Amino acid sequence: MPALHHDVRLQISGVALQRGFRRLVADFDLTCAPGDIIALQGPNGSGKTTLLRAIAGFHTLAAGRITLSRLQGPGIEEPGEVLSFLGHQDPIKAGEKLIDQLRFWADLCGASRGHVAETLAQVGLSKQAELQGGDLSAGQRKRAALARLLLEDRAIWLLDEPASPLDQEGRALLGSLLDQHAKQGGIILAAVHDPLPLVSARILTLGTVKSGVAA
């Protein structure tokens, strides 16, 4: 079996998350190995987004720890080295051409600029490359965000409602990208309401904690 492209493990142990005084998640444990696809489900306000943001390092944990480790090779100092985050906002600027925006992200994460056109073709946005960000539809913006994910080429993908604005074809594309990423040894954590297209995912349900004022 050929060596996998990614070999990062994610371990979450005893994590508690809080927003203000409201406890969203308590004693949460999860271990992800290369190739895992996990669908986080739960009602609105159950802490799906907060959990993803906590893994990305944006949200401070109320308790517990999140460990990222490589099976071989150097240690991981910053979460940004191994993970990409796709939030429900799309970081697309209205007043800049799509291709320039992707070139910017390529520069920022150290990817080759040569891959930008190819990646745009992969998500079906070749014709829109010269459009201003403000002229893109919600689905096209999401596709552009997926293109950024591909450019960054990180092991762990944290996706917040990735399928919501996409059309049928876009969902199929998302499914095939997820499948490909998992086959390369990537880990995917997605907060979803509908099942993820094309791939079979482990389902985790949040919102079982009794929400209320934390001790």
Partner 1 sequence: MSLLRACLAILGREVRLGWGAGGGALLSASFFAGSVMVAPFALGPAPDTLGKIGPGYLWLALTLASLVSLERLFQADLEDGTLDQMLLSPLPHSLQVLSKILGQWLATAVPLLAVSPIAALLVRVEPEVILPLCGQLAVGSLGLFLIGAIGAALGASVRRGGLLVALVVLPLYAPSVIFGASAAAALASGGHFFSQPFLFLCALVLAALAFAPVAAAAAVRLHVD
- What sign results for the dihedral spanned by CA atoms 109, 101, 58, 155? negative
- Does residue 80 bind partner 1 (CB under 8 A)? yes
Could you tell me the smallest distance in angstroms from the CB atom of residue 156 to partner 1? 11
Q: In the complex, what is the shortest distance from the CB of residue 80 to partner 1, in angstroms, rounded to a whole number?
A: 4
Residue given tokens 């001790």 in the structure block: 215
Question: Taking the complex as a whole, how short is the minimal distance between the CB of residue 114 and partner 1, in angstroms?
Answer: 14
- Cβ atoms of residues 186 and 159 within 8 Å: no
Binding residues for partner 1 restricted to 155-214, rule: CB under 8 A: none
Task: Pick one of 35, 45, 57, 64: the residue that binds partner 1 (CB under 8 A).
Answer: 57
- Each residue 102-121 as x (binds partner 1 by CB under 8 A) or -, in order, gives -xxx-xxxx-----------
The set of residues, in sequence order, having a beta carbon less than 8 Å from that of 135 and lying 6+ positions away, is none
Give CA–CA dist 189/169, Å, rounded.
22
Structural contact between residues 143 and 90, judged by C-beta atoms closer than 8 angstroms = no
> How many Å from the N-terminal Cα to the C-terminal Cα in the chain?
50
Closest approach, Cβ 186 to partner 1, in A, equals 16
Q: List residues near partner 1 by CB under 8 A.
A: 53, 56-60, 78-81, 83-85, 87, 89-96, 100, 103-105, 107-110, 132, 134, 148
